[in-house]
Amino acid sequence: MKYYIISGEASGDLHGSNLMKALVEKDSNAEIRFWGGDLMQEVGGTLVKHYRELAFMGFAEVLLNIRTIFRNIKYCKKDIIEFKPDVLILIDYPGFNMRIAEFAKKEGIKVHYYISPQIWAWKENRIHKIKRDVDEMSVILPFEKDFYEQKHNFPVHFVGHPLIDAIANRKQVGIEAFNKEYNLSNKPIIALLPGSRKQEIKKMLSIMLKMADKFQEYQFVIAGAPSQDFEFYKQFMNQENVKFISNKTYDLLSVSYAAIVTSGTATLETALFKVPEIVCYKTSWVSYQIGKRLIDLKYISLVNLIMDKEVVKELIQNEFNEKNLEQELHKILDTAKRSEMFSNYFDLEKKLGGKGASKKVAELIVK
C-alpha cells in the first residue's frame, strides 16, 4: 500500500520513524512518502519537507509566518493528489494537519490520525471537524480515550505511549563511557533541555545557564536539538562547567542526576528516564496573554496532566526566573524529594500502558 505521513515537529519525527518501521514490517510492499525529519528519513521512503521548514511556535510567530504556512499547505495538497496514497497518516501538528484532513476526506482518501491534537486543552470545538474528517484516531494518553468516547461519543484506539518503546529499545550507555566520549568530568550531570526551536531556546537557555555558577559541584550539559547547530547555542555559553552535546538527548538523560526542561514532550521523556526535573516555559508576552485566555488546564506538563497532580514543579512565564529556578533546583537535589518523585514516576509509567504502541497503530492502519 501507499502511505502518506505528515509530522511537523521533532517529537513527531521520532514517533513517525518508529511507526514507519512497524508499517514496513507489516507490509513488505509499503511505499511511504512523508513530511518529517532525519529519523524518518533514516527508515526510508521519500522526504517531501523537513520539519525545520514548518516549526513556528506561539500565536505571534505563526502570524508572522502565515504566508509560508499557507504555501506549504497548498504544496502538500498538490503532492498528495499526485502520490495517490491509500491512507493519509497525520501525527499531531493540528494547525496544519486538520486542514489536510479536511482536504483528504473530500478527495476520498482514508485518514488515520496518530497522536491526537490536544483538544482537551484548547480548541475543543475541533471535535466536530475530527468527527467529520478523521476515519480512525489513535490516542497515546490514557485520559484521552474517556475524553473522546464519553464526552464526545467518538470511538478511538488507546495504543499506549510510543515513548515507552523508544526508550526501551535504545542502546544502553554507561556513564564512564559517556563522560569519556564527550570529555565530561565525573561530577553529577544536570541536563538542560531548552527546547528545539530558536524562539524558545532564546527565551529559556540564558536563565537555565545562570544555575551553572550557583551549583559548582555539578556539571551542566545542554541537550542540543538536531534542528539547531552549535553556533546558535554558543552565544549563550560562557561558563566553564557547561558542556554541549548535540542530538543525544536520550543518552544524556540516561546518565543525568537532574534536569531543567522546557515544557513539551521532553518533560515526559525525562520522567520516563526517572530523572528529577523542573519544568519551565516562557514565550512572548503577546502569545502568553492569548494562550492564558484560551487554555483551561491545571498544569502544562504532560507528567502532571497524566497524574492529575503536581509531580514536577512548573515555572511558567514570570515565575521562570533565576531566584525561583535556584530554589527549585535545590529541592530536586534533596534525597527525600527525589524519592517522592521516583515513586510518582513509576506510577506514571504504569498509567501509560505497556510497550508496542507503534506496532498497534501499524496493525490498525494496515487493516
| DSSP state letters, 177-216 | HHHHHTT--SSPEEEEE--SSHHHHHHHHHHHHTTTTT-T
- 222 with 330, same domain: the answer is yes
- 346 with 359, same domain: the answer is no
- 98 with 246, same domain: the answer is no
| Per-residue model confidence (pLDDT) at position 289 | 59
- 28 with 111, same domain: the answer is yes
- Stated as kind and residue range, the H or E segment containing 110 is strand 110-114
- In this structure, are residues 45 and 270 in contact, taking their beta carbons and an 8 Å threshold? no
With H, G, I as helix, E, B as strand and everything else as coil, classify residue 242: strand
- 131 with 184, same domain: the answer is no
Q: What percent of the chain has pLDDT over 90?
A: 71
| Per-residue model confidence (pLDDT) at position 287 | 62
- 156 with 14, same domain: the answer is yes
| Per-residue model confidence (pLDDT) at position 196 | 83
Tabulate helix, strand, coil % of the chain (nearest 5).
50, 15, 30
Largest CA-CA distance found in the chain, in angstroms, rounded: 61
- 27 with 132, same domain: the answer is yes
Segments forming the whole domain that contains residue 232: 168-351
C-alpha 357/C-alpha 89 separation (Å) is 15
- 273 with 260, same domain: the answer is yes
- 184 with 120, same domain: the answer is no
| Per-residue model confidence (pLDDT) at position 131 | 97
Nearest to 65 by CA among 51, 75, 55, 74: 55
- In the predicted model, residues of the chain with pLDDT beneath 70 are 55-65, 284-296
Backbone angles phi, psi at 318, to 5 degrees: -70, -25
C-alpha 204/C-alpha 140 separation (Å) is 28
With H, G, I as helix, E, B as strand and everything else as coil, classify residue 112: strand
The set of cell numbers assigned to 347 is: 506510577
| Per-residue model confidence (pLDDT) at position 222 | 96
Number of domains in the chain: 2
C-alpha triplet 177, 191, 227: angle, nearest 5°: 95
| Per-residue model confidence (pLDDT) at position 295 | 64
- 212 with 334, same domain: the answer is yes
| Per-residue model confidence (pLDDT) at position 207 | 94
C-alpha 120/C-alpha 105 separation (Å) is 23
- 55 with 176, same domain: the answer is no
Q: What is the CATH number of the domain that holds 112?
A: 3.40.50.2000
C-alpha 7/C-alpha 111 separation (Å) is 14
Whole-Å CA distances, 259 to 197, 218, 252, 298, 330: 19, 12, 10, 22, 12
pTM of the predicted structure, to 2 decimals: 0.79
| Per-residue model confidence (pLDDT) at position 122 | 79
- 342 with 307, same domain: the answer is yes
